[in-house]
């Protein structure tokens, strides 16, 4: 193929249009104009009896270009191209493989026949982005597969595999082997059988799939799955249009609803996070030409919860990793847990036994530091203890090869002080994984004043094979995520001390959109973890005798959360549910009375404000201190590591969405009630809220 984005090749009466737009054949403006040009070429050829639409590379069209969402609407361009495909007067066959989402599959609905290889997956993720399928999906899909299945696919956003797609009628055939060759064969068969174009636009939605009951059920599901959000309901409305109007009119309704949905807070929030995640790799203050070092081998010190999870990340990436612990026994235990994680993946059909064996083959255990001498990166994940970590870094300094990145997974300790135990502080950095490390996408990368540009670049790039979202931060207590969690947890616990039940604090936050209420999170992680962190770092917190006292009181009664069957809630064996527990409430009330904390009622609104405003306020302090490069990085930390709803855009985006003045007024309201110790607004929040400047304007002026 030339350097054109497409190629047209006439194979014995079948005109094959092949698009090659790496990495994933996104339907960008260039791809659309390439396809228009390809159709120009095809229309000039003589003897064309059928057309095949195919792609080269790793997947058929993966989807529309989300980069265009913030620009002018592109629906008219899509409509023109798709109508042109659909109106061809010879059969048009789409050859699917890989993963086709949204626009990537909608283009096939404008073709006449669809063939896919067995591993193909299709789906409509739009409502997760606060929008609706806007390239004909809500109009053509119900015509092709019926409204009921179209509603299910679009509202659930779940991908379906080729087998299910065939059952639904979303594809016509599954190909063995090379799907592009099979599509040409299929086109020839159609021609031989005298089959002409089969246009989706000329089909009617099967009435039995579009009854009022079916639509009512879809609406109910949309409301239930997405409380506080409307995109899914808008999609249902748009699909209903397909049952009422001809395609051309329906497409205009879809466009109107689609453009309205792009203006909703949920779409702005989700799309903000989408771009924020893609921007975190940009490091603004190191030379642009800094090259990352190659990472071919890794080492880990500590085969515990985190060390094991991190080892899995490396093995999954195909990078051999050596794990060191103090004794064979500790290694056996740690590697056993690690293997158990793989076993459960095999059991759930998420990993083949062969792949498990391959990955386990990349993981070696050792008790000897010399075995880490070939590693390009070594991550320390031993107990949270400064002296121990310093000792280990001094050991690593002796054995690690020059240029090896020496990283610590500490959650609270000063990475610079740990690095000072070596003679190469330029190679030292924090790589803060979250638990479970093989699942959670967030990776906070903690640079010290000495970390070299190369160490930083290498660490940021390492996130890619490990499938992590990196956020580069500077040293401060708790870094970004845990530091902002601190005032959130303080208020959550304080409110239960003021008489709210744990559920009365957790439920409003879950309704608001948090993946899980914080007190339930504490129970899951272990109430003792919080107690120990607060005890070990008492000097970091304000002197407040009521500070985090609910957990202390629970801990005194052996209530450590799920692992002990009771914490803020109680738990029953074999069941993941949490139950209200009068005993926990009594323990907390007793402590509250000893501390003379007045008992007051709490509205849901107050719960949400008292949890979120101090969290946001801390975010502003982090921004003003220059701990992060961009406010959007804070949003990524919270959406990828702390269950903050993506459609709310992360705490900083959310603050602007509701208005910084509102946040500031909220802070001041509680400052009047509780005093300044915990409620002093950050200077930056005050500055922006009173001047009316946006965060983006402030960032631009700061440079
Ligand atoms: P863990 O107790 O599960 O594991 C620690 C491991 O280190 C154990 O296997 C222990 O045998 C080993 N170890 C202790 N001393 C050692 C030494 N001298 N040499 C080699 N190995 C030694 O702890 P964890 O939960 O995995 O935490 C490890 C680190 O990660 C801590 O710094 C912690 O703050 C941090 N962290 C933990 C979490 C979490 O949720 N657990 C999340 C982020 C960061």
Same-domain pairing of 598 and 539: yes
Same-domain pairing of 393 and 485: no
Same-domain pairing of 22 and 165: yes
Which CATH number goes with the domain that contains 53?
3.90.226.10
106 a catalytic residue? yes
Within a domain: 490? yes
Q: How far is it, in rounded angstroms, from Cα 162 to Cα 698?
A: 49
Q: What was the pLDDT predicted at 64?
A: 94
Q: How far is it, in rounded angstroms, from Cα 241 to Cα 281?
A: 42
Whether pLDDT at 343 is above 70: yes
- Asked if residues 622 and 634 have their Cβ atoms less than 8 Å apart, the reply is yes
Q: What was the pLDDT predicted at 255?
A: 95
Same-domain pairing of 486 and 457: no
Torsional sign, CA 12, 17, 21, 25: negative
Average pLDDT over residues 348-364: 97
- Asked if residues 682 and 634 have their Cβ atoms less than 8 Å apart, the reply is no
Same-domain pairing of 212 and 97: yes
Average pLDDT over residues 634-658: 98
Which CATH number goes with the domain that contains 446?
3.40.50.720
Q: How far is the CA of 303 from the centre of ligand 1 (A)?
A: 7
Within a domain: 25? yes
Q: Is the CB of 387 under 6 A from ligand 1?
A: no
Residue 85 structure tokens = 């495909």
Q: How far is the CA of 306 from the centre of ligand 1 (A)?
A: 6
Residue 544 structure tokens = 């407040």
Whether pLDDT at 2 is above 70: no
Same-domain pairing of 459 and 502: no
Whether pLDDT at 574 is above 80: no
Same-domain pairing of 237 and 370: no
For the chain, the straight-line distance linking the first and the last C-alpha, in angstroms and rounded, comes to 44
Q: How far is the CA of 386 from the centre of ligand 1 (A)?
A: 12
Q: Is the CB of 533 under 6 A from ligand 1?
A: no
Q: What was the pLDDT predicted at 1?
A: 45
Neighbours of 43 (CB within 10 A): 12
Same-domain pairing of 180 and 314: no
Q: Is the CB of 307 under 6 A from ligand 1?
A: yes
Q: What was the pLDDT predicted at 71?
A: 80
Same-domain pairing of 572 and 681: yes
- Asked if residues 266 and 181 have their Cβ atoms less than 8 Å apart, the reply is no
Average pLDDT over residues 622-642: 98
Within a domain: 532? yes
Average pLDDT over residues 572-596: 95
pLDDT grade, residue 703 (50/70/90)? confident
Whether pLDDT at 167 is above 60: yes
Within a domain: 224? yes
- Residues 6 or more apart in contact with residue 167 via CB below 8 angstroms: none
Mutational pocket test of ligand 1: of 299, 303, 306, 483, the residue with most ligand atoms within 8 Å of the beta carbon = 306
Mutational pocket test of ligand 1: of 378, 381, 527, the residue with most ligand atoms within 8 Å of the beta carbon = 381
Q: What was the pLDDT predicted at 504?
A: 98
Domain of 44 in residue numbering reads as 6-263
Q: Which of 463, 492, 519 is the last residue of a domain?
A: 463
pLDDT tens string 216-242? 999 999 999 999 999 999 999 999 999
Q: Is the CB of 435 under 6 A from ligand 1?
A: yes
Average pLDDT over residues 394-409: 98
Q: What was the pLDDT predicted at 3?
A: 64
Same-domain pairing of 509 and 437: no
| Tally of domains within the chain | 3
- Residues 6 or more apart in contact with residue 86 via CB below 8 angstroms: 92, 110, 111, 112, 197, 199, 200, 201
pLDDT tens string 275-313? 999 999 999 999 999 999 999 999 999 999 999 999 999
Average pLDDT over residues 171-183: 97
Q: What was the pLDDT predicted at 83?
A: 97
Q: How far is the CA of 305 from the centre of ligand 1 (A)?
A: 7
Task: Please pick, among 41, 43, 126, 260, the residue that the annotation labels catalytic.
Answer: 126
pLDDT tens string 434-464? 999 999 999 999 999 999 999 999 999 999 9
pLDDT tens string 486-526? 999 999 999 999 999 999 999 999 999 999 999 999 999 99
Beta strands 363-366; 50-55: pairing state: unpaired
Average pLDDT over residues 661-673: 98
Within a domain: 109? yes
Q: How far is the CA of 380 from the centre of ligand 1 (A)?
A: 8
Residue 109 structure tokens = 């609905």
Within a domain: 510? yes
Average pLDDT over residues 87-98: 98
Within a domain: 96? yes
Q: Would you say how long the chain is, in residues?
A: 703
Q: What was the pLDDT predicted at 627?
A: 98
Whether pLDDT at 619 is above 80: yes
Within a domain: 283? no
Percent of the chain with pLDDT over 70: 100
Q: Is the CB of 309 under 6 A from ligand 1?
A: no
């Amino acid at each position: 193929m030339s350097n054109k984005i497409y190629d047209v090749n006439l194979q014995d009466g079948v005109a094959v249009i092949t698009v090659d737009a790496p990495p994933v054949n996104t339907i960008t403006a260039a791809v659309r104009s390439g396809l228009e040009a390809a159709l120009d070429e095809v229309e000039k050829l003589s003897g064309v009896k059928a057309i095949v639409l195919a792609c080269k590379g790793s997947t058929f069209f993966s989807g529309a270009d989300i980069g265009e969402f913030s620009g002018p609407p592109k629906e008219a361009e899509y409509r023109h191209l798709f109508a042109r495909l659909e109106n061809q007067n010879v059969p048009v066959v789409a050859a699917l493989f890989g993963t086709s989402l949204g626009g990537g599959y909608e283009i096939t609905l404008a073709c006449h026949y669809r063939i896919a290889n067995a591993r193909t997956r299709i789906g409509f993720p739009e409502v997760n982005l606060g929008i609706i399928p806007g390239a004909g999906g809500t109009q053509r899909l119900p015509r092709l597969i019926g409204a009921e299945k179209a509603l299910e696919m679009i509202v659930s956003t779940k991908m379906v595999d080729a087998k299910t797609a065939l059952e639904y009628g979303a594809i016509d055939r599954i190909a063995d082997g090379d799907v592009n060759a099979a599509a040409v064969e299929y086109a020839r068969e159609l021609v031989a059988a005298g089959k002409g174009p089969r246009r989706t636009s000329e089909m009617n939605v099967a009435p039995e799939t579009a009854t009022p009951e079916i639509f009512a059920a879809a609406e109910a599901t949309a409301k239930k799955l997405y409380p506080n959000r409307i995109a899914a309901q808008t999609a249902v409305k748009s699909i209903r249009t397909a049952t009422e109007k001809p395609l051309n009119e329906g497409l205009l309704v879809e466009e109107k609803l689609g453009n309205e949905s792009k203006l909703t807070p949920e779409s702005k929030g989700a799309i903000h996070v989408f771009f924020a995640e893609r921007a975190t790799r940009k490091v603004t203050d190191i030379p642009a030409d800094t090259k990352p070092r190659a990472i071919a081998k890794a080492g880990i010190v500590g085969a515990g919860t985190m060390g094991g999870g991190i080892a899995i990340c490396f093995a999954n990436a195909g990078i051999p990793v050596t794990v060191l612990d103090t004794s064979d026994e500790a290694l056996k235990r740690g590697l056993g847990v690690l293997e158990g994680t793989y076993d459960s993946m095999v059991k759930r059909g998420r990993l083949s036994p062969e792949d498990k064996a391959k990955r386990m083959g990349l993981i070696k255990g050792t008790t000897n530091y010399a075995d880490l001498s070939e590693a390009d990166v070594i991550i320390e994940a031993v107990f949270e203890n400064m002296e121990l970590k310093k000792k280990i870094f001094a050991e690593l300094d002796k054995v690690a090869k020059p240029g090896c990145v020496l990283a610590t997974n500490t959650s609270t300790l000063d990475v610079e002080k740990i690095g000072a135990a070596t003679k190469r502080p330029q190679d030292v950095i924090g790589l803060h994984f979250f638990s479970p490390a093989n699942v959670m996408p967030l990776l906070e990368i903690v640079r010290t004043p000495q970390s070299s540009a190369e160490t930083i670049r290498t660490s940021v790039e390492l996130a890619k094979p490990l499938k992590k979202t990196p956020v580069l931060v500077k040293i401060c207590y708790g870094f970004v995520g845990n530091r902002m969690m601190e005032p959130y947890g303080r208020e959550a616990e304080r409110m239960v001390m003021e008489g709210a039940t744990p559920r009365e604090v957790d439920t409003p936050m879950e309704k608001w959109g948090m993946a899980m209420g914080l007190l339930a999170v504490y129970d899951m992680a272990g109430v003792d973890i919080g107690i120990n962190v607060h005890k070990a770092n008492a000097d970091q917190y304000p002197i407040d005798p009521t500070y985090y006292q609910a957990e202390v009181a629970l801990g005194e009664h052996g209530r450590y959360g799920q692992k002990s069957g009771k914490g803020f809630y109680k738990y029953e064996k074999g069941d993941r549910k949490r139950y209200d527990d009068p005993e926990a409430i009594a323990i907390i009330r007793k402590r509250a009375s000893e501390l003379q904390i007045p008992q007051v009622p709490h509205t849901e609104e107050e719960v949400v404000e008292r949890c979120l405003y101090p969290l946001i306020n801390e975010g502003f302090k982090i921004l003003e201190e220059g701990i992060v490069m961009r406010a959007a990085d804070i949003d990524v930390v919270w959406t990828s590591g702390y269950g903050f709803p993506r459609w709310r855009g992360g705490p900083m985006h959310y603050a602007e969405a509701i208005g910084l003045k509102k946040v500031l007024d909220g802070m001041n309201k509680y400052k009047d009630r509780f005093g300044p110790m915990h409620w002093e607004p950050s200077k930056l929040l005050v500055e922006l809220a009173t001047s009316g400047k946006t965060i983006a304007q402030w960032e631009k002026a700061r440079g």
